Structures are given as structure tokens and as C-alpha cells.
Amino acid sequence: MTPASRELEHENEEEELNSFPRMSVGETRDVSSLKDKGVTKKLLQPSSTPSHHRTHPEAGDKVLVHYTGRLLDEAKTKFDSSVDRGEPFEFTVGVGQVIKGWDLGVMTMERGEKCLLTCKPEYAYGAAGAPPSIPPNATLEFEVELISWKSENDLFGDGGVIRVAKIEDGEGWKTPKDGDWLEIGVRASRKERETGKMSTVWEKGLADEGEEEKEGLFFQLNLKKRNGKEDADNDDASKVPFGVHLALQFFKKGETQRLLVRNEYLLEKNAPYDEDDELYFTVTLKRWVHVEKICNGLGEKTTIKEAPESNYDTPNEGAKVVFSSVKVYRGKRDFARRGRVGDQRKEEEEE
């Protein structure tokens, strides 16, 4: 199965980010795993996040919350409050660090949202309780505000580039560096706000199952903010947003990921995107060639073929060396294309 066909299995992965429909203030909803009303959520304050940019924390994310806990007795006895202490509480959600009702409830919340979670004993402290503050078989009420969270899939911690899915693992351990020339397969998709359906904006170099490998998109990795200088003879390269450049520094050869890119990470000179847009990029890193400065920055060395990893010997200054061949290329793109899988062009065709 090719990465392009595997993408079909993940076509609705972004729905996982929006799987809990947005609530209205005052609305109460059952958020228990068994739908037994063991955990109910009442919205007190909505998030200010735009509806098309909304996300929820996932299991394994570190969340920061304020909370106040009360018993459901006549006095609504307060037994704990981070608000009173003036110090938010941080924990890893979805891994059992807190009561089950919190894990379930917090993973339905958005940044800045405030809600009331009511947890029955089986989703709280059970038959034993937590003496002396919480009696046995107690139903508890928590007012919770989700301040922020950090996710391993939120690559830069601000929601601009999110790894939605890893479709294909890469090989080896090496990853591209700033200035390297890359060949990628890429498909940009947009979720239409009116229909909720995904539509392809543009694509290059991703082959469907049964198709021959396609030539990918060649461009130079740029991990610095754009200065307006673009690859003038490569219109497709200008469509690769800054967020994809940044994400590719973590890719291994052959790896395929699906990325959600938005905000300033999406904007590029000449790129056909709007300021409030967000796009999904399915990206395969086909190969790359390493470029490094030499001669005190006066020249560049482009590595077309890596030496065996077991061979660490290099010639000393003044040593005699033997070259198997020397060829002058017209420019960096010839270097980048040279040695591509399936490239059978002859030397004389490049003269």
C-alpha cells in the first residue's frame, strides 16, 4: 500500500480534533465513556478559539487548569481549589494521573473554556473515598478552566503545525538540515466549511496504489523566516509553507506524515492561501542531499552519495587523494536531481 492510498485511511483524522461538537453556554452533556451519565459536563464559559481552528487535548498531553472541587451535600462543601491557592494545576491527561472523570471531561475542552464536571463515585474516588475530605461513594462537582496544554503532536507549542497522523515510518536516524535539497511528495487539502468535506488544493509527486513512482517536488529547505527570495522557476516550491519546511527537519527518509498547518506558518509569498485559512499537508520525504558551507563560506559541498556509516576515515591536509570522476553541474537543482531513484538519464544529456 502506497502512502497516497494509506492517506485515504486517515482522510478523516482531522475529525478526531473536532469529534466533540461545540456546546452552548448552559448546555449539559454526558461525556462518560459508557454514556451512563457517570460524568456530565455543563458549559459555563466558551472558548474564544474560532470554530474552524478548534482543537482538544489528547491523551498524553500536558494540560494546565484551574479548578474548584465541591461535594454535592446541602452546603456544597468546597474540599479543594487551585484558584484559592493562586497556582494552576498541571498534569498529563488521559493516562490515569487524575480521576477518570477529569481525564474524560478535560479531553472535551478547548483552550480558555470553563465548565462544570459532575463525577459519580465510579468516575471519582469510588467506594473508599479520599478521607478526610471526600467521604465514601461521593459524587463530586468540579468547576474547571482549561488554561493551556502542550502536545507532542503540536510541533511548536502554539497550534500552528500539528502532526495529525504518521502514515509511514522512515528509515535510519538521519534527518535533513537547513539548506539541504529535498525531494518530497505532497498533497495539500482543505476542509470546506460549508460541507465539511476534504478537497485537494494541489499535489505533486504522490503516487496512488498501482501507479509508478512519480517525480517529486525539489526545493531547498529553509528553516529561517522567509526574506521574499523564492525559487523563481519553481512555482510549486513557493506553495510549500514555512510550517512544512519546519516540520521536515524531523522527517526521516521515506517517512510520510499528515500535518495541519495554519496561522503564520501557512503564509508564504505567492502562496494561494488566506490569512485565516488552514490546510492539511500529506508529505513524504523521498530523499535529500546534504549541503554544507566550505572554504570559510566561499563554497558549498553537496553530498550526493553518503559514505558507509562504519567508515569514519577522512584525508588529512596534504594527503594525496584519488577521485573516481569529476563533473561540473550547472546548478544546485542538477545536484538535487542527480541520483534520484529511477533517474536513468545519461551523462551527456546533462552536458
Q: Does the annotation count 294 as an active-site position?
A: no
Do 71 and 140 contact (CB within 8 A), yes or no? yes
Of 93, 71, 90, 74, nearest to 82 (Cα)?
90
Q: Which string of DSSP letters, residue by residue, matches 202-254? A: EEESPPPTTSPPPP-EEEE---S---S---TT-TTGGGS-HHHHHHHTTPPBT
Do 249 and 272 contact (CB within 8 A), yes or no? no
Q: Does the annotation count 125 as an active-site position?
A: yes
Residue type, 330: R
Q: Does the annotation count 280 as an active-site position?
A: no
* C-alpha cell at position 47: 472558548
Catalytic residue among 20, 80, 147, 277: 80
Catalytic residue among 61, 123, 134, 142: 142
Catalytic residue among 20, 79, 91, 329: 79
Catalytic residue among 103, 123, 125, 134: 125
Do 71 and 77 contact (CB within 8 A), yes or no? yes
- How far apart are alpha carbons 15 and 150 in whole angstroms? 20
Q: Does the annotation count 265 as an active-site position?
A: no
Q: Does the annotation count 99 as an active-site position?
A: yes
Which DSSP symbol is given to 347? G
Q: Active-site residue numbers?
A: 67, 79-80, 99, 125, 142
